Amino acid sequence: MLLLSILLLPLLGAVILTALPNSKRQGAGRFAIAWAVIPLAFVVMMRGTRPTPEGGILASWSLDWIPSANISLSFSVDGISWVFLLLTSLVTLFALAISSRFGLNSRGYCALILVMQSMLFGVFTAGHFIPFFLCWEMTLIPSYLLIRLWGGDGAPRAAMRFFIVTLFGGVCMLLGFLALQVSVGTMDFAMLHELAANKELASGVGEALKSTGYGGHYLLTIIAICVFFGLAVKIPVFPFHAWLPDAYAEAPTPVTLLLTGLLSKMGVYGLLRIFMMIFPEVLPGFAPWLTALAVITVVLGAVAALAQTDMKRILAYSSINHLGYCVLAVAAVAASQADRTAVSSSISGVILQAFNHGIIASALFFSVGIFEQRSGGLRSIDDFGGLRAKMPVFCGLMGLALFASLGLPGLSGFVGEFLIFNGVFGLVPWAAAVSLIGLLLTAVFLLRLLRKVFHGPLPSALESWTDLTTRERLLFVPVIALIVGLGVWPQAILHCINDDILRMLNHLLPSS
Amino acid sequence: MNYIHLFYQLLPEAVLVITALALLGVAVSTESKTKKTITCGLASRIAALGVLAAGVALVFTPKCLASGSHLIAMDAIALIFKGGVLGLGFLAVLVPPAKKEIEHPGEYFALMLFALTGLTLAVGSNHLLFIFVALELASLSLYLLAGFSRTPQSSEASLKYFLFGAVSAAFMLFGLSFLYGFSQSDTLQGVAKAVAADPTSVIGMVGLLMVVVGLGFKMAAAPFHYWAPDVYQGAPVTTVTLVAGASKIVGVVLLVRFLMIGFPDAAGSAAWGGITAGWSIWLAIIAAVSMVFGNLLALAQKSVRRLLAYSAVANSGYLMVGMCAAGGESSAAALFYVVVYGLATLGALVVTAAVERDQGSDSQAAFAGLIHRSPLLAVCLLIFMTSLAGIPPLAGFAGKFILFGAAMTDSIQAENSGLAWLVGLAVVMSAVSFYYYLSVLKQAFVKDGDGSAGKESLSLGYVLAVVIPAAALVLLGLLPSVLLDPIKVAVLETLGMH
Amino acid sequence: MNPAWTIISAFAGALLVLLLPARMAGQSRIIALIASLVGAAAAAVSCLTRLNGMESDVWSFKSDWIPSFGIQFHLAADGLALTLLMLTGVVAIAGVLFSWNVTKRPRAFFAYFLTIIGGVYGVFLSQDAFLLFVCYEIVILPKYMLIAIWGSTNREYGAMKLTMYSIGSSALILLGLVVAYAAAGGTSFDIAHLAAAEYSTELQNWAFPILFLGFAVLAGMWPFHTWAPTGHVAAPTAASMLLAGVVMKLGAFGALCIAIPLFPDGFAVWQPFIAGLAVVGILYGAFTALQQKDLKFVIGYSSVSHMGFVMLGLATATHWGFRGAALQMISHGVIAGLLFGIAGRVVYERTHTRDLTELGGFNLWKSLPGAAIAFTLATAASMGLPGFSGFVAEISVVIGVWESYPWLLPWVALGIIITGAFSLRAMYRAFFPDSKASSAETMGAGSSTPPLDPLTWPEISAMALLLIVSLSIGIYPKPWVTLIDDGLRSPLFQSILFQP
């Protein structure tokens, strides 16, 4: 019941907002913020429930859909899901909180964000492909509208491109899973994991789709590619990232924050929980390609960021780069499962990196938002300079976030990247080596941003700028606290996911 | 068989003739005294009463299957279709032509009654010569009736009708003489015997085809239909209703008699992939030509009367589809359909006449806004046109469906697809026909009219002549069995197919 | 209440409306609403009864009609028919509500409307080919009248075109049925009897395409779809809703329950062609919709595309495919009804334009937020996003395609994507402002365009009804699927779906 209320509460909030009389427009933002606190509280409360001993399930709920085909809307939460739930509720709350700073507090806007939150909860808890896909696709319309209606001048085009590309990915993923339904009669994740662990999936697919004239392994590879494509578009992985810079740049800042902080995590989550777990039979075959893509994503993301002057675009490419590490870890695990410790380290790294990236991105995009708001829409790093003198506190906070982003030890960004590199070195050393270039370049462009904006001569237009208001400082507090806190004590997250990672390991490497 | 017996059997016809003579007498006497003729309305009412009385007389007429000479055959078909002819005749005489059109209403309606007499007589005979004489009685009266109003169109119609009629009568008589020579018998039963002995006889077949040409003329089947458009358009409306309704029924009944009683063994087959020599294939060709010609030409008509004439051509085609199958059920279905068709076409003509009388034109445009001017006429027109087009729940639909179904059933065999090609053509052409029926309805229901047109005022005769067929069409559409079952029983009984 | 009440209520309603005295003509909408409600209630009660008593025999009613030709008045309602009855009931209610403001000859309007509804109910319930055909044809003339008299753009042409296509299609059906009747011995028109008869393969090979094509024309299968967009555009709102919502379903229903079971061998031969045409239809409809300027044309072509999925489901000859086809019929019925209702009634009656560019100037997102929300949701449903009915239907069809024609899948996927694209394009062009100048920060503030009338209650309730149905199917399809599966267990489909 707790799970169901977490899933439905934001939706209910959206409905209430829509039904509110128009005159209460000013109150819509406040209402939404207050409302978004409730799921956060519920998620935290859920940590207190005792997990089931065999599956580590904290809560679950299900509804028959097409019983004759084993399709049901089933949702369940284990440790990993919980971490993502937490991230979702935190980031959504933060996005709503900063939205009103930017004058985005109309009913429609808040309602759409709440709908999106609900769907994200669904994605991170789905136990069957149908509910997963349901929530996955239902994020499309809200995010499309958010970009389209509240975005910049280029928003219509960017939103359309974003929509079509992601829809395309979704359809591919759907077709892939339906093939599994046809051949093995189920799309339930747990059952598919079971089949995959017993190496029965490829043979099942081959048997059912004999008529195509291809073998099971080949067909399963195609299915896996379809599914990967759907996930990769969301993250995004090179070369499916073309929609991203425009969409991120045109969307209003809080929405960009949602896109990068949460929507891209859907892809990471899917790679980890679905792709890696269902297709181990065929993964070794194309893992080298995957690894190569991940490496290119990491490096290219960094190089592209280096070429940008628009702060939002820099951060957008930096997101590609940071999430590239997650893909790299998954690809490495897929390629080689030689070392149990390395695999475990990689997987933990992915989850930590996903969580931390969400938090750090929140801080960074909020900072960009502050620039935008004060300068009336300017975002280029060339427009600013020497602000350290005028805004020391802001400079410190944003600098902290930037350092966390480039992975300074002691801050949260470091732990995830360290675990990932630790794991990948053990599995696919060359990829880790090449990716280091990306790591270095990240440092370069982030520091360049810091230098350009806060140092050097102060443009005359910025003479009148003052430091952060108390309210803005207060908004920074929880984020910075998390960045520092998780950097010092990553165990807080790792503790939650240890059991689940153990289960995944047993599943992937049953022999040991 | 004595003459009293004969008189009983011809009681309806006797009533008709007596009424006709009375009408003539009244007309002549009033004219000579007052220089004023009796009015159209009065004459129409007298004639209607006469037809009604004949109908009552028919009820009391005994059924008599085997009178020695077959001169008069009061078999089951005859009983039903004499009723049918009288019924449609009754509706026809209910509609008086405009006063200015007809100068001598008494004579006009007397001729109507004579024509009806000829038609009823023709229905109830298996004797070759008697059939011819009865038909000629009807035809001669109809030629005159067509030319009765003194407009040039009427005269042209009469002349065309007469010329084509004379040629076709010659054909028919020639054909009958062939049949007589071939079978040494002047009855259809005798012909049947000869055919059974020699089904492939060329003389017999030639004779039959000539008769079919003659009947095809009566039914306005293509290519013997050239008189139809002009007669439908030019002749007084009362004549046209008789030609379109009762006369058509007689054509089909006689076709059934000739083909199914006289030549059942020479049918051959027109089935796709299984064509064998016989009359079926010839009929199929006439049917196909009629359907295609009639429907395509009707598409181009502006005048509703001409449109109905071409629709009559097309409908002869559908009827012949039923005949082609050469089966009892399909014959029964054709006979059912012709009654339904007669009712619908008669009703449509009456509505057209009413519109024409008030708007001065029978063009489609004259119908514009009919629903506002006269809802009754418009709704009845809807019933007639949709019945003609074969839309349920009206009788025209049931008629067509059953006709095509029976034609398929009687013709299909394991090794070939039967008349599917012809039925297919019929169905497609029937779909085409919907276009022109609908375009009339479009004027009546969709167009608003210019508002200047006056309201159609309706006499009782008109009201009856549209309401009765409309009600009958609805009733027969919902419960076709009411008429279909008796017809089927009668046909199977008469043809000896139990 | 048994399912027959659906038919009775509709025809009785039609008669009652016609008999209303002229001064009470305004009340005809109330009668129509009551009749639709009774019909929908009867359908709903029957559905629930069936769901609770799946083991019992289906409801049926049989009586002689024209015994000499083996024609019976035979109605029966299995699960499949019941779901379609339910759909018809819902669309009927919404149609009446969306026509609440009809003032031109209201009696005739609602009489025609209810006649169509009654005919549609009749087709779904008929178990006798003759009766089915009667009900099928009853619909044609009222359809013409509704469009020709109350329609808008090019109404007489659209009405005539649509009617001639319908008549042509019914001619083919008539021929097919008559051939089946004759070949089965000419004794009975009972569908079960016709389906059980043995037909030679040769006959099936030519009779199947005739019969199937007849139904497929009405279902809007490419390339015989051209009546659909013109007809939908010309029709008044309620008629568009009925046409796209239920009348097109008659074709699909006939193809599923008559053409395929009657001639299974012929079906097996023609199956690949149907699948090919269906896919072409999906793509053609989608690409054409992408280029339309008129909002109703977009929806009209989207219907072609969506009905392509129904045909594709049928062509797979699998349980999933048939199930998907049935679901898609219901789903499309609701969604198309909703889209046409919004485009034709809610928007057009206020703006008097359906041109996408001109609509953009009205800034409907601000001036009619309710309509914009409803249209957005309907768009999402139309593009098959999960959570709405279209998704359940499409995945079922796609699973069927995986089983039968995997190589068609890339094209199907393309179709789904283009559907997303054109739906989205129509939505933002029509409802959302062009540029940032009128973006949502000023939402609710005064705008340059004259204010539009607010939504009325009938409109809101109609939109809500259709949306709720679509959502309920999308979120919880179990009862619908159960009912459809019940229908597919009928002996009609045994030889096709459950071959040894």
Min Cα distance C95 → chain A (Å) is 25
Could you tell me the sign of the dihedral formed by the alpha carbons of C188, C189, C195, C197, in that order? Answer: positive
Average pLDDT for chain C: 86
Count of positions (residues) in chain B: 498
pLDDT, one tens digit per residue, over B179-234 is: 998 888 888 888 888 888 888 888 888 999 999 999 998 888 888 888 889 999 88
Q: What is the pLDDT of residue C437?
A: 44
Higher pLDDT, C368 or B300: B300
- Which residue in chain B is spatially nearest to C169 when comparing CA positions? B431
Q: What is the pLDDT of residue B343?
A: 93
In contact, A17 and A31? CB cutoff 8 Å: yes
Q: Which of these, A28, A42, A32, lies nearest to A77 by C-alpha position? A: A42
Please report residues of C whose CB lies closer than 8 A to that of B485.
67-68
- Which residue in chain C is spatially nearest to B372 when comparing CA positions? C105
Cα separations in angstroms, A135 against A84, A128, A149, A178, A241? 15, 11, 22, 17, 22
- Which residues, other chains included, contact C499 with Cβ-Cβ below 8 Å and sequence gap of 6+? none
Residue C144 lies in a domain: yes
Q: What is the pLDDT of residue C447?
A: 46
Q: Average of pLDDT values for C147-152?
A: 86
Residue C500 lies in a domain: no
Q: Average of pLDDT values for B412-435?
A: 85
Paired with C59 in beta bridges are: C77
Q: Average of pLDDT values for C381-392?
A: 87
CB contact under 8 A, B404 and C175: yes
pLDDT, one tens digit per residue, over A109-130 is: 888 889 999 999 999 999 889 8
Q: Average of pLDDT values for B419-447?
A: 89
Q: Average of pLDDT values for A408-430?
A: 86
Q: What is the pLDDT of residue C500?
A: 43
Average pLDDT for chain B: 86
Is A185 strand, coil or helix?
coil
Q: What is the pLDDT of residue B473?
A: 93
Min Cα distance C287 → chain A (Å) is 14
- Reading the block at residue C429, the tokens are 């062009």
Of A96-110, A428-442, B128-142, C10-24, the poorest mean pLDDT is in A96-110
- Greatest CA separation for chain C: 74
Residue B421 lies in a domain: yes
- Which residue in chain C is spatially nearest to A212 when comparing CA positions? C406
- Confidence band (pLDDT; 50, 70, 90) for C87? very high
Q: Which of these, B311, B304, B400, B313, lies nearest to B353 by C-alpha position? A: B304
- Which residue in chain B is spatially nearest to C129 when comparing CA positions? B401
Please report residues of B whose CB lies closer than 8 A to that of C171.
427-428, 430-431
> How far is C-alpha C459 from the geometric centre of its chain's CA atoms?
20
- Confidence band (pLDDT; 50, 70, 90) for B37? low
Cα separations in angstroms, C51 against B152, C48, C79, C82, C487? 74, 5, 8, 10, 12
In the predicted structure, residue C260 carries a pLDDT above the cut 70: yes
Residue C427 lies in a domain: yes
- Confidence band (pLDDT; 50, 70, 90) for C275? very high
Q: Average of pLDDT values for A79-102?
A: 88
Helix (H) or strand (E) holding A75: strand A71-77
- Greatest CA separation for chain A: 73
Q: What is the pLDDT of residue C444?
A: 43
- Which of B382, B398, B405 is the closest to C182 by Cβ? B405
Q: What is the pLDDT of residue B453?
A: 59
CA distance C498 to C490: 11
Phi, psi torsion values for A110, nearest 5 degrees: -65, -40
Check CB contact of C67 with chain B, cutoff 8 Å. Answer: yes
Residue B346 lies in a domain: yes
In contact, C98 and C237? CB cutoff 8 Å: yes
Is A62 strand, coil or helix?
strand
Burial of C20 (0-12, 13-18, 19+ CB in 10 A): middle
In the predicted structure, residue C435 carries a pLDDT above the cut 60: no
Min Cα distance B419 → chain C (Å) is 9
Cα separations in angstroms, A288 against A232, A293, A294, A346? 16, 9, 10, 17
Q: Average of pLDDT values for A289-305?
A: 89
Check CB contact of C48 with chain B, cutoff 8 Å. Answer: no
In contact, A43 and A86? CB cutoff 8 Å: yes
Check CB contact of B397 with chain C, cutoff 8 Å. Answer: yes
In the predicted structure, residue B313 carries a pLDDT above the cut 90: yes
In contact, B420 and B408? CB cutoff 8 Å: yes
Q: Average of pLDDT values for A73-98?
A: 89
> How open is the CA angle C174-C176-C177, to the nearest 5 degrees?
65
In the predicted structure, residue A24 carries a pLDDT above the cut 60: no
Supply the DSSP symbol for B72.
S
Q: What is the pLDDT of residue C88?
A: 93
> How far is C-alpha C283 from the geometric centre of its chain's CA atoms?
20
Q: What is the pLDDT of residue B89?
A: 92
In the predicted structure, residue A216 carries a pLDDT above the cut 90: no
Q: How many helices (H) and strands (E) does chain A have?
A: 23, 2
Q: Which of these, B339, B319, B323, B321, lies nearest to B331 by C-alpha position? A: B323
Is A512 strand, coil or helix?
coil
In contact, C141 and B396? CB cutoff 8 Å: no
- Which of C376, C395, C475 is the closest to A178 by Cβ? C395
Residue showing tokens 């000739």: B258
Is A212 strand, coil or helix?
helix
Domain encompassing residue B317: 267-498
Average pLDDT for chain A: 85
CA distance C500 to C498: 6
In the predicted structure, residue C306 carries a pLDDT above the cut 70: yes
Of A104-108, A292-296, B129-133, B146-150, the poorest mean pLDDT is in A104-108
Domain encompassing residue C455: 4-493
Interface test with C, best of A68, A105, A141, A186 (most C CBs within 10 A): A141
In the predicted structure, residue C443 carries a pLDDT above the cut 60: no
Q: What is the pLDDT of residue B163?
A: 92
pLDDT, one tens digit per residue, over C17-30 is: 988 888 888 888 88
- Which of C68, C168, C183 is the closest to B484 by Cβ? C68
- Confidence band (pLDDT; 50, 70, 90) for C441? very low
Is A76 strand, coil or helix?
strand
Q: What is the pLDDT of residue C445?
A: 43
Express as a percent the part of chain A with pLDDT over 90.
4
Residue showing tokens 């006798």: C128
SS (H, E, C) B14-70: HHHHHHHHHHHHHHHHHHHHHCCCCCHHHHHHHHHHHHHHHHHHHHHCCCECCCCCC
- Which of B406, B417, B481 is the closest to C67 by Cβ? B481
B223 prior amide bond cis, ω within 30? yes
Helices B304-324 & B237-244, crossing angle to 10 degrees? 10
Residue C316 lies in a domain: yes
Q: Average of pLDDT values for C469-498?
A: 86
Residue C169 lies in a domain: yes
In the predicted structure, residue C119 carries a pLDDT above the cut 70: yes
Give the strand pairing for C59-66 and C71-77.
antiparallel
Of A437-441, B112-116, B265-269, the poorest mean pLDDT is in B265-269
In the predicted structure, residue A462 carries a pLDDT above the cut 80: no
CA distance A481 to A478: 5
pLDDT, one tens digit per residue, over B164-190 is: 999 999 999 999 999 998 888 888 888
Q: Which of these, C245, C214, C257, C263, lies nearest to C124 by C-alpha position? A: C257
Amino acid identity at B31: E
Report DSSP letters for A446-467, one per residue: HHHHHHHHHSSPPPGGGTT---
- Which residues, other chains included, contact C349 with Cβ-Cβ below 8 Å and sequence gap of 6+? C101
Supply the DSSP symbol for A211.
G
Q: What is the pLDDT of residue C436?
A: 45
* Cβ neighbours, 10 Å, residue A178: 27
- Reading the block at residue C91, the tokens are 């669309």
Q: What is the pLDDT of residue B414?
A: 66
Q: Average of pLDDT values for B87-101?
A: 82
Amino acid identity at B83: G
Chains A and C lie in contact, requiring 3 or more CB pairs less than 8 Å apart? yes
**Count of the separate structural domains present in chain B:** 1
Residue C128 lies in a domain: yes
pLDDT, one tens digit per residue, over A202-214 is: 888 888 777 777 8
Q: What is the pLDDT of residue A488?
A: 86
Q: What is the pLDDT of residue B16?
A: 92
Express as a percent the part of chain A with pLDDT over 70.
98
Residue showing tokens 């239809």: C281
Residue B148 lies in a domain: no
In the predicted structure, residue B76 carries a pLDDT above the cut 60: yes
pLDDT, one tens digit per residue, over B448-493 is: 766 665 666 678 888 889 999 999 999 999 899 989 999 998 888 8
SS (H, E, C) chain C: CCCHHHHHHHHHHHHHHHHCCHHHHHHHHHHHHHHHHHHHHHHHHHHHHHHHCCCCCCEEEEEEEEHHHCEEEEEEECHHHHHHHHHHHHHHHHHHHHCCCCCCCHHHHHHHHHHHHHHHHHHHHECEHHHHHHHHHHCHHHHHHHHHHHCCCCHHHHHHHHHHHHHHHHHHHHHHHHHHHHHCCCCCCEHHHHHHCCCCHHHHHHHHHHHHHHHHHHCCCCCCCCHHHHHHHHCCHHHHHHHHHHHHHHHHHHHHHHHHHHCHHHHHHHHHHHHHHHHHHHHHHHHHHHCCCEHHHHHHHHHHHHHHHHHHHHHHCCHHHHHHHHHHHHHHHHHHHHHHHHHHHHHHHHHCCCEHHHHHHHCHHHHCHHHHHHHHHHHHHHCCCCCCHHHHHHHHHHHHHHHHCHHHHHHHHHHHHHHHHHHHHHHHHHHCCCCHHHCHHHCCCCCCCCCCCCCCHHHHHHHHHHHHHHHHHHHCCHHHHHHHHHHHCCHHHHHHHCCC
Chains C and B lie in contact, requiring 3 or more CB pairs less than 8 Å apart? yes
pLDDT, one tens digit per residue, over A128-186 is: 898 999 888 888 888 888 888 888 778 888 888 888 888 888 888 988 888 888 888 88
CA distance A133 to A222: 19
**Count of the separate structural domains present in chain C:** 1
* Cβ neighbours, 10 Å, residue B18: 14
pTM for this predicted structure? 0.88
Express as a percent the part of chain C with pLDDT over 90.
25
Residue B387 lies in a domain: yes
CB contact under 8 A, B408 and C179: yes
